[in-house]
């Protein structure tokens, strides 16, 4: 089943985000290579493609896991969690309808 994982950035964490980015992307690349990633990306903190020093408000990942528990375990192991980028993470089932 698909699961939506939304991480919400804490305050002033852009430097932490940039430091942990390579490890974060490596996990997403692994999901993609396994055919389990629907989409992933950051949410700019301002209305701009490149928010610059304003940074990001969080990230969204929609990926396939065997269970909600597995999705939560994967989310809890994210390098952004370990680095203190995310203040909180929400994981919930997702039903793809379109496209």
What does the pLDDT look like over 63-91, one tens digit per residue? 999 999 999 999 999 999 999 999 999 99
pLDDT digits 0-9 by tens, 38-72: 999 999 999 999 999 999 999 999 999 999 999 99
Q: Which domain CATH number covers 78?
A: 3.30.70.1060
- Three-state SS string across 6-63, please? EEEECCCCHHHHHHHHHHHHHHHHHHHHCCCEEEEEEEECCCCCCCHHHCEEEEEEEE
Q: Which domain holds residue 20?
A: 2-94
Considering its fold, how many domains does the chain have in total?
1
């Amino acid at each position: 089943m698909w699961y939506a994982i939304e991480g919400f950035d804490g305050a002033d964490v852009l430097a932490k985000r940039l430091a942990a980015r390579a490890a974060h992307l490596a996990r997403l690349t692994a999901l993609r290579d396994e055919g389990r990633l629907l989409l992933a990306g950051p949410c700019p903190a301002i209305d701009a493609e490149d928010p610059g020093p304003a940074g990001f408000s969080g990230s969204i990942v929609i990926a396939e896991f065997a269970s909600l528990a597995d999705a939560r375990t994967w989310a809890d192991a994210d390098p952004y969690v370990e680095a203190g980028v995310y203040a909180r993470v929400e994981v919930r089932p997702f039903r793809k309808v379109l496209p």
